[in-house]
Amino acid sequence: MAAGASTISDAARSVSYIEEISPQLRGCAILTEDGEALAASGDVDAWAAPARELVAAIDSVGGEPAAHAHISTPDGEAFCVREAGLVAVAVGERLTLASLMIFDLRSVLRDLAAGTPPAG
């Protein structure tokens, strides 16, 4: 886990917080830079491989790790945000405001890495 982020329960609180503040969020996962799933909406194991695959696909396009990405489809939106040694992957409803989702995910990752996850 990134420096400052002390427990998997901190990551779980961070997932709960982002779910609470993002009504258009369908679900999300927080991973380490190495791809270890720390927490997710629902089953962490169900999120782990697809989240890693999405991050790998996004990174392969630019040839280097992407700071963030937004993928829009007729069925919904997918997001990937990298911050402070952590990665968030999220799925939202169609037409989710991308700038706000990316900001929220980045803020949660920054706080988690600093060891200050949301109270809960």
Quick one: which H or E segment has residue 79?
A: strand 76-83
For 41-48, which contacts have Cβ atoms below 8 Å and span 24 or more sequence positions? 41/15, 47/89
Least confident piece of the model among 3-7, 18-22, 82-86, 92-96: 3-7
Token pair of 35 as six digits: 């791809």
| CA–CA distances in Å: residue 77 to residues 21, 70, 80, 102 | 17, 7, 10, 12
Mean pLDDT to the nearest integer, 34-52: 96
The DSSP symbol for 109 reads H
Q: What is the pLDDT of residues 88-117, one digit of tens each?
A: 999 999 999 999 999 999 999 999 999 887
pTM above 0.85, yes or no: yes
Handedness of CA 21, 24, 29, 30 (dihedral sign): negative
pLDDT at 4 over 70: no
Whole-angstrom distance, CA of residue 58 vs CA of residue 110: 21
Average pLDDT, the chain: 92
Beta carbons of 80 and 88 less than 8 angstroms apart: yes
pLDDT at 16 over 60: yes
H helix intervals, 1-120:
8-21, 44-62, 98-113
Mean pLDDT to the nearest integer, 46-73: 95
Residue ranges of domains in the chain, CATH in brackets: 8-113 (3.30.450.30)
Mean pLDDT to the nearest integer, 38-57: 96
